[in-house]
Amino acid sequence: MKNKSLSSLRINDERFRANFETLAAIGATPDGGVHRPALSEAHLEARRWFLEHAKQIGLDARMDGAGNHSAVLLCGRAGGPTLLLGSHLDSVPYGGRFDGALGVVAALEVLQVVKEQGISLNTHLEAIDFTDEEGHFANFVGSLGLAGRLEPEHIQHPRGGRDRFRQALCQAGLSESSLFSAGRDPATLAGYLELHIEQGIRLIESGIQIGVVTNIVGIRSFKIKFIGRADHAGTTPMDKRLDAAQGASAFTLASRELVMNEFPGYVATVGNMEFEPGVFNVVPHTVTVALEFRADDDHKLDEMEAALRQQVSVAAQQFGLESETEHLDNTPPAHMNDQVREAFVNVSKALGLKHTFLPSGAGHDAQCMAEICPTGMIFVPSVGGFSHSAKEFTEWEDCANGANALLQAALMLAR
């Protein structure tokens, strides 16, 4: 097929939508969202759907040692590299139906269009669904594994505990050691492209259809223990307590002030607190706080970490507590490849879609892939900016625009 006719190719909108709806029914919640935490039964069912669908459309379906699911179309020159397109099928607990799923279904649709047109390209194409993007157990296990960047410490302290992680891996036909076997030789990869919803309000408020991602924030996460003493809740006077809840609360409030005043534009979140023993009538002796913070620059992350650690000490001292800080995860910020960005800009123009450049405050598998191959992402508008909730919504026309931009960028970079 000539270059000119390639540029007129479009995805099959009805089929794309039907596949998206089929997938959204797996793990569906009554409020229109999905509950598919990584390696849960619903997530595994979504992944079975991926493999079956890929086989049905004549793609070569596989799973690697990190559980990444792939559908491969050998449309490139013999021995040529592969261009990956994808995202993730897991969700946060009680999340939305678009986060991740849109990019995976769009990738499958792109491969199906290229296959049915019998197009020969310079590179092969692969649709990929990465394991545990949402960090249910550990952030980006699949994409770190594929990038050869997974280290034993990434999975040493999985959220939810190591036993549960091992059990979940086993049910999925994986193991801790298999996760390390998924690394691919960068020389075999032509790049990675990801379509995703914006999860913010910038596109929708400016009436722009495509956000070309410039860079993706780095994320660090910590478990912080405030340790005091268990006491009777009825007989211990207020000023005689070593109440771990007070330290955890003081830290939480102070972290907000700190970030807003000293790190404007950046974010820190206390996402969980576990109280021990966690009953009404005992002053809690220990509270474990789950903290994560994000910035698009490693120096800023270092500064935020130092300032937040200082706040932990201040809050502990204020209430006579001990504190322990455990570093869980560190995902560095990533820059998207210039050539891939340019391809997305050019295809947006050719498709008559307005575009703008945006950084991503959400984490994505693209930040791991960017370490080993030319990587780029586009966003489509999120109505109301809602995400990580069932309220997540993107107009179908915007989903289709994004998928067409993905198709055209893939054709541009793969030929």
**What tokens does 298 get?**
């490693």
Query: Tokens 């000490």 map to which residue?
Result: 313
Among residue numbers 107 through 166, which ones bind ligand GLV (CB under 6 A)?
134
What is the four-CA torsion angle of 85, 89, 92, 98, rounded to 10 degrees? 70
**Cβ nearer to Mn ion, comparing 37 with 228:** 37
Closest distance of CB 154 from ligand GLV, Å? 15
Q: Which residues pair with 93 in a beta bridge?
A: none
**Cβ nearer to ligand GLV, comparing 149 with 166:** 149
User: Among Mn ion, ligand GLV, none, what binds residue 247 when CB lies within 5 to 8 Å by partner kind?
Assistant: none
**Cβ nearer to ligand GLV, comparing 124 with 159:** 159
Tell me how many residues contact Mn ion (CB under 5 A).
2
**Cβ nearer to ligand GLV, comparing 64 with 134:** 134
Fill in the per-residue mask, 160 to 199: x = in contact with ligand GLV (CB under 6 A), - = not in contact: ----------------------------------------
**Cβ nearer to Mn ion, comparing 99 with 243:** 99
In whole angstroms, what is the distance from residue 183 CA to residue 165 CA? 20
CA separation, residue 252 to residues 166, 249, 258 (Å) = 32, 5, 10
**What tokens does 349 get?**
């123009």
**Cβ nearer to ligand GLV, comparing 243 with 296:** 296
Contacts 24+ apart (CB under 8 A), 20-28: 20/97, 20/101, 20/102, 20/105, 20/399, 22/49, 23/49, 23/89, 23/97, 23/101, 23/104, 23/105, 24/97, 24/101, 27/91, 28/97
Interhelix angle 101-116/396-414, nearest 10 degrees: 50
Closest distance of CB 216 from Mn ion, Å? 11
Helix (H) or strand (E) holding 166: helix 162-171
Q: Which residues pair with 326 in a beta bridge?
A: 223
Closest distance of CB 120 from ligand GLV, Å? 36
User: Among Mn ion, ligand GLV, none, what binds residue 363 when CB lies within 5 to 8 Å by partner kind?
Assistant: ligand GLV
User: Among Mn ion, ligand GLV, none, what binds residue 383 when CB lies within 5 to 8 Å by partner kind?
Assistant: none
Q: Provide DSSP, 239-254.
A: GG---HHHHHHHHHHH
Q: Is 402 in the site for Mn ion (CB under 5 A)?
A: no
**Cβ nearer to Mn ion, comparing 100 with 402:** 100
Q: How far is CA 139 from the centre of its chain?
A: 8
**Cβ nearer to Mn ion, comparing 100 with 218:** 100
Closest distance of CB 199 from Mn ion, Å? 7
Q: Which residue type occupies 59?
A: L
**Cβ nearer to ligand GLV, comparing 101 with 321:** 101
Of residues 332, 362, 371, 391, which one binds ligand GLV by CB under 6 A? Answer: 362
Closest distance of CB 89 from ligand GLV, Å? 13
Q: Is 363 in the site for ligand GLV (CB under 6 A)?
A: yes
Query: Tokens 């370490």 map to which residue?
Result: 371
In whole angstroms, what is the distance from residue 229 CA to residue 49 CA? 51
Q: Is 96 in the site for ligand GLV (CB under 6 A)?
A: no
Closest distance of CB 213 from ligand GLV, Å? 13
Neighbour tally for 8: CB within 10 Å:
9
Closest distance of CB 343 from Mn ion, Å? 21
Close Cβ partners of 111 (under 8 Å, ≥ 6 residues apart): 57, 59, 71, 73, 85, 125, 126, 127
**Cβ nearer to Mn ion, comparing 67 with 100:** 100
Q: Which residue type occupies 244?
A: A
Closest distance of CB 361 from ligand GLV, Å? 7
In whole angstroms, what is the distance from residue 194 CA to residue 178 CA? 25
**What tokens does 223 get?**
């478990």
Among residue numbers 75 through 114, which ones bind Mn ion (CB under 5 A)?
99-100
- 73: helix, strand or coil: strand
Tell me how many residues contact ligand GLV (CB under 6 A).
3
Closest distance of CB 238 from ligand GLV, Å? 38
Q: List residues near Mn ion by CB under 5 A.
A: 99-100
Q: Give the residues lining the site for ligand GLV (CB under 6 A).
A: 134, 362-363
